[in-house]
Amino acid sequence: MFAEERHRLITEAVETHGKVSVAELSERFAITRETVRRDLALLETDGLLRRVHGGAVGLAAASTREQSHSDRSTLHAEAKQAIARAAQQLLPSAGGSIMLDAGTTTAELAGLIAQQGGEDTLVITHALPIAARISANPQLALEFIGGRVRGLTSAATGAGTVTAYARLRADLAFVGTNALHADFGLSTPDPLEASVKAAMVASAQRVVVLADATKHDELTLVQFATLDQVDTLVTDRAPAGALAAALEAADVDVVLA
């Protein structure tokens, strides 16, 4: 196989799977790992991928890259809906105080909560799309945590938002994440968003993370929680390898949607 054809196939693999490893490519093309590394270096120079330890990822996987709420709402919609339905089963039957983080999967859950109702339920959120869904049901109590709203995520951020969450002790928090990693835990690209998420995690008596399988084994710029701060992970595919072992070691209950 000519190098040009190999480079095309490597690029296609990155576009399809999001990442490739040196070991996998070496075995697939029956070439040395050093040759694979040279190929990846050339492709990175051409702006077709980004090298990371052990392989390469697509350019969209940069640690600071973040999509808007509207863009993310159309991605992996079926998985997010299934996760939201599974998360709904974790809601306390007696009501109580529930924090809902910003995000498209938590927004799906907010829609289910709004349909379900519950006079004894207080929903606390800093996300405008979620507040809009919850406020549609007059039976539900809604507390909106204010701050400076980021246009990209339609969520309040800033010192005031963090302080408001720090003064609460909610029964349950449903938290979204951009990435879930065995060593780095939960992370998100923006420091302001990370501060709010960290405050929610610290303020809740029980923390449930909602994350579809595309977040598994990923890293973004800012860590906001370690795995041992999480009680339950709701996801659409069982974590594998190092992530599965780390979740078990941290005593995280994994619920499959």
Calpha distance 141→97 (Å, rounded) = 9
207 shares its domain with 145: yes
| pLDDT value, residue 116 | 85
Same domain, 8 and 75: no
Q: Domain check: are 8 and 76 in the same one?
A: no
Instruction: Give, in order, the Cα–Cα distances in Å from 239 to each of 14, 26, 89, 208, 254.
Output: 21, 25, 21, 16, 9
Q: Are 233 and 193 in contact (CB under 8 A)?
A: no
Task: Please tell me whether residues 21 and 135 are part of one structural domain.
Answer: no
Distance CA 201, CA 26 (A): 42
pLDDT at 68: 47
Q: Which domain holds residue 120?
A: 69-256
What CA–CA distances, in Å, run from 66 to 161, 189, 235? 21, 6, 20
Query: Among 89, 54, 106, which Cα is nearest to 211's?
Result: 106
**Farthest CA pair distance, the chain:** 67
Can you tell me the distance from the alpha carbon of 244 to that of 150, in angstroms, rounded to the nearest whole number? 33
Instruction: Please report whether residue 28 resides in a domain.
Output: yes
Looking at residue 25, its pLDDT comes to 93
The number of folded domains in the chain is 2
Indicate whether 134 belongs to any domain: yes
Say if residue 54 is in the same domain as residue 77: no
63 in any annotated domain: no
Mean pLDDT for back-to-back runs of 10 residues, the chain (257 residues):
87 83 92 92 85 81 52 67 96 90 95 86 96 93 95 92 97 96 95 96 97 91 96 96 96 96
Instruction: State residue 69's pLDDT score.
Output: 44
pLDDT at position 62, please? 57
Q: What is the pLDDT of residue 61?
A: 56
pLDDT of residue 156: 96
In a domain, 247, yes or no: yes
Residues 75, 54 share a domain:
no
Looking at the fold, whether 240 and 147 belong to one and the same domain comes out as yes
- Return the CATH number at 51: 1.10.10.10
For residue 27, tell me if it sits in a domain.
Answer: yes
Query: Reduced to 3 states, what is the DSSP secondary structure of residue 124?
Result: strand
What are 254's strand-pairing partners?
Answer: 233
Single residue among 58, 86, 103 that ends a domain in this structure: 58
DSSP string covering 144-182, please?
E--SEEETTTTEEESHHHHHHHHT---SEEEEE-SEEET
> Residue 64: inside a domain, yes or no?
no
Q: How many CA atoms lie within 13 A of 27 on its CB side?
A: 4
Same domain, 252 and 125: yes
Q: Confirm whether 236 is domain-assigned.
A: yes
